[in-house]
Chains A and B, each alone.
Chain A
Amino acid sequence: MSEPNATAKTSAALLQSRRNALRSYLGAYGFMAPAGVLVIIFFLIPVAIVLYLSVTNLASSNFTSNLAKMEFVGLKNYETLLNDQFARKIFFNTIFYVLVTLSLFNVTLALIVSLLTTHIDRSAGFLFRALWILPRITSPVVYILIWKRMTAEAPFGILNQFNEFLGQPTYNYLSTNPWVFVVVVNGFIGVSFGMIIFTSAIESIPKDLLNASLVDGSSRLQRIRYVILPLIRWPLLFVVTYQTLSLLTSFVEIQLLTDGGPGLYRTEVWSLTAYHRALSNYFGNAQWGYGSAFAVLLVMIGVVLAVIYMRVFRFDELIAEPRVEAL
């Protein structure tokens, strides 16, 4: 009499535990769903569409309202791209732009600004950093207008007005030194991201640790080298990774400042080319298919870089399970 009863009990318990497992499983996915939907709608689907477009010849010159007439051309766009005499130049432009801006501004200057503003009076440091966020929160159009006004030719440009005042020759800066200004203009915005991350990392180092270093006999510079920098290693690597990827895809400021010029592609970068080809070619001749090929390569480079960074810097260690302090 008790036997079947016990079996019924265990199977009921089994069912219950399965139900619980299912519930927690669904719960986890339920919580991820909103973000997942956004990623699908705004990233995966567009990537799929662009991927598809890149193997067609879709362009404004052969565009009809009958999309079925769009021709599948296989890898022809990629072939054209590889043989494009400017693609190589644009590729190296991009590497130059990303490396120089990243190393001088987004990482190094960001680090210097964070270290300086955390070593001076707190509120002064805060004010200084708040000011440096302005370029980032200003609309790019307004921000670039300001720079255009600064770099404009004599007698309009502010820099040239200084030159005139000092009796120096005047320059058309954006055509004589376009790279300097492309890097500086982007770098000025780029600094604030690293600055915020580094500052909060530095400020979260326990005060005792910083005091201990001074008492142990370090100067303030030695403390930065031996204690502060090693302790903000992860934020540093994170900023390097994240900013490489965002510089790789940023082009609005360049478009507004030089539009890739002067001349043929002097400051053109890859993402700007994708835009130019697909959406803003000369005389309204938009090559949607060809531009998509540029975009697809950029996405691939980005994904590969992201995976390499994650491996090399072992970002999974950052989210290690918290250890419960043994008593």
Chain B
Amino acid sequence: MEIRIDNLTKKFGDVVGVEDLTLHIDDGEFVAFLGPSGCGKTTTLLTLAGIYKPTEGLIRFGDRVVNTVQPKDRNIGMVFQSYALYPHMTIFQNIAYPLKLKKAPKNVQNEQVRQVANVMGIGELLDRRPGQLSGGQQQRVALGRALVKEPDVLLFDEPLSNLDARLRLTMRGEIKHLQKNLGITSIYVTHDQVEAMTMADRIAVMNLGQLQAFDAPDELYDRPKTRFVAGFVGNPPMNFLDVDVSQSNGGFVAAADSIQLPVGNERGEPPAGYDGSVVMGIRPEDITIADDGDVNGEIFVVEPLGREDLIDARVGPHSFILLADTEKQHRAGERVALKFDMTQAQFFDPQTERSLLWN
């Protein structure tokens, strides 16, 4: 089912839940809504589900405008962060509930519930009550309940954030696998950028009720259109630095205090045209400690992550986060030379925070 959201605004009195959101989602696509808490992800989802009525704008499922359609007439499956299982019903009754409401015959209910339960690996638990299940099992039941009615659209509201890290990893894979197999158009809300990056075909990044970007994961990573997106996507986050970019000897140079970094024409020209200093962004993996580095600094903190070390290096007043091989055994206080891969540098307008490179 194709979903088209046009200029959607939802307000609660004076509080803006989501503002002027325009988003077109293709049939069978897996889209993630990514953003910090309170940015309007849940509001958007509940508006799509029909729980909230839009204050303004249009929502279309296929060619049908669904603004005033009741939730029960939208054929949506939804998975909640709290699982939202009915505590007074058995697992069987929980999963059968959507079918019962559709007035499916008893034997059909029985068959479909068992089938879904087996797919979700909870066939043994049908007689229990939600309170007797672990978090991971409850989440499977919730997913089963959403799938059993064969919905046109699946909505997920931070479904994995109450699970432990390992279970999260397994469920992530399972959900993605299921979605691809069933081909159901899905919207997945999360504040965890790793989840969004690994699962989604496209990611809608939101902040303060507004859409910041809507792109494929690698596109967001390599060509962030706003400073917020650049900082939010990627872990550890991108380093930012105020620099002046100017032309020098046929090339360009980004300068901040003692730091002088040569930039190629392609990335150097747009910021050089900007009057005054700009915000430069550079990802941790694009800074390396090397003997032929152009910038001298000192290691402030080393955080071992196991596979690699997370290093906070200081150059004068500026701090850079970077990653280094654990075998190098860097120590705090060590003097190092840093090498910047300026072909990956990003530049942002300090006022509008929009990218000077991509539009």
Contacts and interface: CB of A to CB of B under 8 A. Distances in A.
Interface in B286-343: none
Given A208-B82, A219-B72, A231-B87, A214 B101 contact: no
A216 B97 contact: yes
Q: How large is the interface on A (under 10, 10 to 19, 20 to 34, 35 or more residues)?
A: 10 to 19
B88 A230 contact: yes
A218 B101 contact: yes
B86 A209 contact: yes
Contact of B78 (A212, A226, A231): A212
Given A222-B101, A226-B97, A215 B86 contact: no
B262 interface: no
Interface string A200-214: 000000101101111
Nearest to A326: B134
Interface in B117-172: 134, 145, 149, 155
Interface stretch (B45-53, B58-66, B248-256): B45-53
B101 A209 contact: no
Interface in A128-144: none
B71 A208 contact: no
Contacts of A217: 71-72, 98, 101-102, 149
A47 interface: no
Contacts of B71: 214-215, 217
Q: How large is the interface on B (under 10, 10 to 19, 20 to 34, 35 or more residues)?
A: 20 to 34
B76 interface: yes
Contact of B84 (A208, A218, A226): A208
Nearest to B142: A212
A215 B142 CA distance: 12
A149 B81 CA distance: 57
A215 B49 CA distance: 7
Interface in B243-298: none
Contacts of B50: 214-215
Given A215-B49, A215-B76, A217-B98, A209 B84 contact: yes
A213 B146 CA distance: 11
Contacts of B224: none
B189 to A, nearest CB: 13
B80 A212 contact: yes
A226 B93 CA distance: 11
B217 interface: no
Among A212, A213, A218, A326: residue with most chain B CB under 10 A: A212
A158 interface: no
B219 to A, nearest CB: 32
B82 A215 contact: no
Contacts of A230: 88
Contacts of B149: 216-217
Contacts of B88: 230-231, 233
A219 B72 CA distance: 7
Interface string A91-118: 0000000000000000000000000000
Q: Lowest 3 CB-CB distances: which A-B pairs, in order?
A: A212-B84, A208-B84, A217-B101
18 contacts: A208-B82, A211-B46, A211-B84, A212-B78, A212-B84, A214-B50, A215-B76, A215-B155, A216-B145, A216-B149, A217-B71, A217-B102, A219-B70, A219-B72, A222-B101, A226-B97, A227-B86, A231-B87
Interface of A: 206, 208-209, 211-219, 222, 226-227, 230-231, 233, 326
